[in-house]
């Protein structure tokens, strides 16, 4: 079951700033962030920030930061089992390989060294998934030689978005789009080109904690609807492939 994170108008600004803090942690997972650094990114004092973050995110700042680092490290390890464990631990801000191994094992049920001996993406991924209950989509071909990817230069843009927590599958996606359409009605804005941002890898992150932002490019000349927030994206080069999505099912394209 997916959840749209919404609060009444008094809390909307707090929600926006907590989202900013969550994004900041994800984008700086390799940095040695202090509570004050994270609070400052969201324009909070550190004294109030910790309590507010837990109320909105459902976990403490420290727990969210630790989990984010572990999941990003797991992503790298799944893709490259030859990576040095000590280097990986230090890269993601853990004090030692021993501390990293302890936390990794607690999160995923196996130490990171176990994956070095497997040496393959699908085998490592299957073990990580043993600790995460979710249905597996059918008909996915990881070695699809027909997949056509191109590099596209995209200009900077602002995204007016709302955030959801839950699985990246058809029922959720259609519900996300419908709720965004309802929000946009207040500004008479048509949802012609929705943009989705999947922050987490659903193969590794627990389904209930997967973050999905959906929104539209937004000009500063229009007043922002109350339930939407703004993210700014710099100019970037993106790897792009086109596919047809049936009934809003994003899981198979994501897996490819």
pLDDT at 180: 84
At residue 240, the 3 state secondary structure works out as strand
Is residue 53 within 8 Å of residue 60, measured between CB atoms?
Answer: yes
- Report the predicted TM-score, pTM, of the whole model to 2 decimal places: 0.78
| Per-residue confidence (pLDDT) for residue 130, from 0 to 100 | 53
50-85 per-position pLDDT tens digit? 999 999 999 999 999 999 999 999 988 888 878 899
pLDDT for 242: 82
The SS3 assignment for 141 reads: coil
Query: What are the residue boundaries of the structural domains of the chain, listed by start?
Result: 9-114, 149-241
Q: According to CATH, what is the number of the domain 149-241?
A: 3.20.80.10
Residue-level pLDDT at 9: 66
Give pLDDT tens digits for 26-46. 999 999 999 999 999 999 998
Look at residue 176 in the predicted model and tell me its pLDDT: 80
Q: Does domain 9-114 have CATH number 1.10.10.60?
A: yes
Straight-line distance from the first to the last Cα atom of the chain, in angstroms, rounded to the nearest whole number:
23
**Quick one: which of 85, 109, 119, 117 has its CA closest to 99?**
85
Stretches where the chain sits below pLDDT 70 are 1-10, 115-146, 170, 190-192, 221, 245-256
């Amino acid at each position: 079951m997916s959840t749209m994170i919404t609060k009444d108008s008094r809390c909307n600004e707090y929600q926006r700033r907590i989202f900013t803090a969550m994004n900041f942690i994800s984008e700086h997972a390799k940095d040695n962030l202090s509570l004050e650094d994270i609070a400052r990114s969201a324009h909070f004092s550190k004294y109030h920030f910790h309590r507010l973050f837990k109320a909105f995110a459902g976990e403490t700042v420290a727990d969210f930061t630790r989990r984010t680092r572990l999941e990003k490290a797991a992503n790298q390890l799944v893709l490259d089992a030859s990576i040095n464990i000590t280097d990986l631990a230090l890269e993601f801000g853990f004090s030692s390989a021993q501390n990293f191994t302890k936390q990794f094992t607690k999160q995923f049920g196996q130490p990171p060294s176990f994956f070095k001996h497997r040496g393959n993406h699908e085998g490592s991924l299957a073990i990580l998934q043993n600790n995460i209950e979710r249905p597996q989509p059918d008909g996915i071909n990881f070695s699809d030689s027909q997949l056509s990817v191109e590099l596209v230069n995209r200009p900077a843009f602002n995204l007016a978005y709302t955030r959801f927590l839950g699985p990246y599958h058809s029922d959720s996606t259609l519900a996300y789009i419908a709720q965004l359409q309802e929000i946009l009605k207040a500004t008479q804005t048509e949802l012609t080109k929705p943009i989705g941002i999947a922050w987490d890898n659903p193969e590794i992150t627990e389904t209930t904690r997967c973050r999905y932002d959906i929104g539209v490019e937004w000009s500063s000349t229009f007043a922002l609807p109350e339930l939407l927030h703004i993210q700014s994206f710099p100019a970037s080069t993106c790897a792009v492939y086109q596919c047809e999505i049936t009934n809003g099912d994003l899981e198979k394209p994501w897996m490819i």
